[in-house]
Amino acid sequence: MKIALLGHGTVGRGVVDIIDSGTGALEVSRILELPQFCNEARMTSNFDDIVEDDEIDAVVEAMGGLEPAHGYIVRALEAGKSVVTSNKAVVAEFFEEFVDAARANGASLFIEATTGGGIPWIAGLMKVRRVDEVSSFSGIMNGTTNYIVDQMSRSGAEFGAVLERAQGLGYAERDPSADIDGIDVKNKTIISASVAFDVACTHDLPVSGIRNLTKADLEFFASRGQSVRLLGKGVQELGSYAVAVEPTAVDARSMEAAVPDNFNLLSCEGATIGPLKFYGQGAGSLPTGNAMVQDLLDLAAGVRPIYDFSRGLAYDPTLLSGDYLIRAAGFEPSGAEPAGAGYHRVPDITAEQARSLLDEALSVDPTAFMAAIG
């Protein structure tokens, strides 16, 4: 099967490395590159060379970003070529458009590498929903923030010091906002919910990150027998669903609290299967490349992922609610009780209300931090 690769960065190189080291049926016949980097016969800087080449069955998009990735994916699908992508931002933004274009043109869309890197999470969700409704999912979906929390917990270092270490190791970008403010997890949560619940998931969900998490916060939660993890989550019930991204207190003896370094742990639950968890490398050249090659092998084997957003599930934020702990100097939420260490416990609010409350708190104390406590 001949494929074209868009984007020859970390992930794209992983795909080429794995295919070139021998997976039989696959051949990278074209690579889209900037003109100044085109140093192989198969490289081109003109997307037309790819989309107009009838011998190319599949386009592997590993460019990242919204444009031109979005336009290239749509043009590839419209040309009847299947698309394998690792680009969570573009899939979260244009999932429905891609699904429609794929269906209309007899092409397929493969997205395993967008969420959980090399972990067979999307495949796992699709398998679960063949038999069960997925009643809920949640996950440590971002390796950078897990590395930061894990290192802070283990070494007692402060957020800034660990972030610098993460940047030195290449786990964090120079501008870490997408990771530490939860944007990356937001994209993965939208994708997971779309697959798990068969819905074109809302883009307007409550999202908070761990930018303001301190060593003292972790010590406070540890004194309660808990750790804190940044989780993407979704629930489905009686024709409605809700999603959120938020720091969450987890039992110190839980699987989630045991996730080390920059690993991911993704969980889902169905009526007959019970809880399932999938753990592995959520990023990196070879694990993510592996997921894309697996998608290509599935395509070659005749697997055709089906996304069906026609059920019309309603977004109902009241489905995700619980108690929260908030720390904000000079800010006392109404109905809250002091919980020690500068924290207040806010009982039974939705994740959306919690996000609004955090905004209020941040306007008073820009270092405010809040976590869901289940």
Q: Is 303 helix (H, G, I), strand (E, B) or coil?
A: coil
Residues that bind a copy of itself (CB under 8 A): 14, 17-18, 23, 118-120, 123-124, 127, 130-132, 253-255, 257-260, 270-281, 284, 286-287, 289-290, 293-294, 297, 302
Distance, in Å, from the CA atom of 17 to the CA atom of 97, rounded to the nearest integer, reads 31
Work out the end-to-end distance of the chain between its first and last CA atoms, rounded to an integer number of angstroms: 48
Looking at the annotation, which residues are catalytic?
Answer: 188
Closer to a copy of itself at the Cβ: 193 or 291? Answer: 291
Closer to a copy of itself at the Cβ: 168 or 274? Answer: 274
User: CA distances (Å), 73 to each of 58, 67, 131, 231, 301, in order?
Assistant: 11, 10, 31, 29, 22
The answer to whether 82 and 110 have CB atoms below 8 angstroms apart is yes
C-beta of 258: minimal distance to a copy of itself in Å? 4
Closer to a copy of itself at the Cβ: 302 or 312? Answer: 302
Distance, in Å, from the CA atom of 281 to the CA atom of 264, rounded to the nearest integer, reads 6
C-beta of 277: minimal distance to a copy of itself in Å? 4
C-beta of 278: minimal distance to a copy of itself in Å? 6
Distance, in Å, from the CA atom of 233 to the CA atom of 229, rounded to the nearest integer, reads 12
Task: Count other C-beta atoms under 10 Å from residue 100's C-beta.
Answer: 15
Counting every residue written for the chain, the total comes to 374
The answer to whether 116 and 282 have CB atoms below 8 angstroms apart is yes
C-beta of 129: minimal distance to a copy of itself in Å? 11
Closer to a copy of itself at the Cβ: 124 or 182? Answer: 124
Burial code of 191-222, b = ≥16 C-beta within 10 A, e = fewer?
A: bbbbbbbbbbbeeebbbbbbbbbbbebbebbe
Count of CA atoms in the C-beta half-sphere (13 A) of 138: 18
Region of 102 please: left (phi>0), alpha (psi -120 to 50) or beta.
alpha
Closer to a copy of itself at the Cβ: 69 or 166? Answer: 166
Closer to a copy of itself at the Cβ: 68 or 280? Answer: 280
In the numeric block, which tokens belong to residue 254? 């839980």
C-beta of 297: minimal distance to a copy of itself in Å? 6
C-beta of 228: minimal distance to a copy of itself in Å? 16
